[in-house]
Homo-oligomer: A and B are copies of this chain.
């Protein structure tokens, strides 16, 4: 009879996935990856066959996904893939900006030199992609940097919240593609320079502002290209 409160390492990661958790992940990916159209009904029966399970665990997973905001449950009318209105997208971008601003602030408080060096390295990689006009590589690097800042904040609750919102907005990510807006690309690169500079100086409040505005500008670019 071991005491459970002290040795519990604050739910480290996901060592042992319960059977139904696998289904949840699979279903989440299935929806996030766009296998279902926006606003489409989520066919219970078809998904049961698709994943070889009965309706009970599927419906449980659906409830969780609804709580996460990925789908919406209409009483007696089943589940629908949640459509993101332009207003929703605006809200999501702002909240992600707020969370990144927080992450930057916290990261300044506790980031190690090694972690910073790693982010700096990624930044230089990204700059090379920028010079080469390699959009794909740039995009990948960009995301890695933002994620690294969130990770450097050392706050699992923040990371989880951030990940949840990121999942919700992923379906609309295409519109954030700035391939057609070369000016924005250069601006974003300059903003990232400022981010790295503030992080180097551990200027939390300043970095917080920069990150929020960075996301704001990203949102504006996305809105301009999409709307």
A-side residues, CB < 8 A to B, are: 4-5, 8, 10-11, 16, 18-19, 21, 39, 56, 59-61, 63-64, 66-69, 72-73, 75-76, 83, 85, 87-88, 91-92, 94-95, 97-99, 101-102, 105-106, 155-158, 160-161, 165, 205, 208-209, 212
Instruction: Report the minimum CB–CB distance from A75 to chain B (whole Å).
Output: 4
Q: Select from chain B the residue with minimum beta-carbon distance to A4.
A: B39
* Smallest CB separation, A85 vs chain B (Å): 6
A27 to B155, CA, bound (A): 28
Contacts of A102 in B (CB 8 A): 94-95, 97-99, 101-102, 212
Contact between A5 and B39, CB atoms less than 8 A apart: yes
For A80, give the chain B residue with the smallest CB separation. B4
Q: Check A157 against B95 for contact (C-beta < 8 Å).
A: yes
The 8 Å CB contact of A60, one of B60, B87, B88, is B60
How many chain copies does the complex carry? Answer: 2
Contact check, B11 vs A72: say whether CB atoms are below 8 A apart.
yes
Are A19 and B157 touching (Cβ within 8 A)? no
Given A60-B63, A69-B157, A92-B157, 20 other A-B residues pairs in contact with their CB atoms under 8 A: A4-B39, A5-B83, A10-B87, A10-B88, A16-B75, A21-B75, A59-B60, A64-B64, A64-B67, A67-B67, A69-B160, A91-B157, A94-B102, A94-B157, A94-B158, A95-B157, A98-B99, A98-B105, A157-B165, A161-B161
CB-CB < 8 A to A18: which residues of B?
A: 73, 75-76
Interface pairs A-B: 6 shortest CB-CB? A98-B102, A18-B75, A91-B157, A64-B67, A67-B67, A60-B63
Q: Nearest CB to that of A72 among chain B residues?
A: B11
A163 to chain B, nearest CB (A): 13
Residues of chain B contacted by A95 (CB below 8 angstroms): 99, 102, 155, 157-158, 161
A73–B64 alpha-carbon span in the complex (Å): 13
Q: Smallest CB–CB gap between A74 and chain B, Å?
A: 8
Q: Give Cα A88–Cα B66 distance, bound, in whole angstroms.
A: 25
A158: chain B residues at CB < 8 Å are: 91, 94-95, 98
Interface centre among A56, A61, A69, A208 (most CB of B within 10 A): A208
Q: Which B residues are CB-close (under 8 A) to A76?
A: 18
